[in-house]
Copies of this chain bind each other. A is one copy, B any other.
């Protein structure tokens, strides 16, 4: 069998530590093409660039045999450029990450990492977003290697339901302390925000967003529960946002 073509994207930028680990694992599984932002794009959600032109540049990537490009766009732009301008077709697998920081629960809607995976799912490419629960730029991704390889191998072997991708979050634990992998639903958590108001040297106000994640959802079938209890969480993700349960009530309105 021919080796699969694997597209690697992320949102922390092409020079982040997490994408390097992801690429090193993927070269064991297939032919790797990297198309990633030239600067960090965390929190970009499903943003696309329509009012500015996009730049793309070939990069020398420090993993042998890997073709890599950086772009001035968002993670979703990277997926679109990869399909239409680099590969001129669809890869067999799309992997995004490994994100420096959690993308479980509601973070899936803010996350550039996951939006790249969702964009893959829109295109019906088997797609996975990987995130490690460690924000730091020099996070230790060693324990992720075997998990990433296991999940990606399963996706290559089994495929995923149509237009669905996987949101994989990995706890910040040494490999031997990780208890296993759980299939979960997205916990109903949210961010409780506050802004820090500061003044510039000319006396003008500006604001930094600060947030605290809250999770009132006590279900033991959630990604939050799995991560809190030492498991890797996998949530299958789709992009039909219709609230079907709300439709019968709306049909009774006087419209």
Contacts and interface: CB of A to CB of B under 8 A. Distances in A.
A230 interface: no
Interface string A34-57: 000000101111111111011110
Contact of A186 (B46, B118, B181, B240): B240
Give the contact-size bracket for chain A.
35 or more
Interface in A64-101: 74, 76-77, 80-81, 83-85
A29 interface: no
A42 B50 contact: yes
Contacts of A186: 240-242
Given A56-B205, A77-B209, A239-B106, A249 B161 contact: yes
Contact of A45 (B44, B122, B244): B44
Interface stretch (A14-22, A136-144, A169-177, A188-196): A188-196
A185 B244 contact: yes
B122 A118 contact: no
B164 A207 contact: no
Contacts of A77: 209
Contact of A47 (B43, B160, B163): B43
A212 to B, nearest CB: 12
A251 B183 contact: yes
B122 A84 contact: no
Contact of A243 (B51, B161, B247): B161
Contact of A250 (B49, B76, B183, B238): B183
Nearest to A42: B50
8 contacts: A45-B45, A55-B207, A56-B205, A106-B122, A181-B255, A185-B247, A235-B241, A237-B243
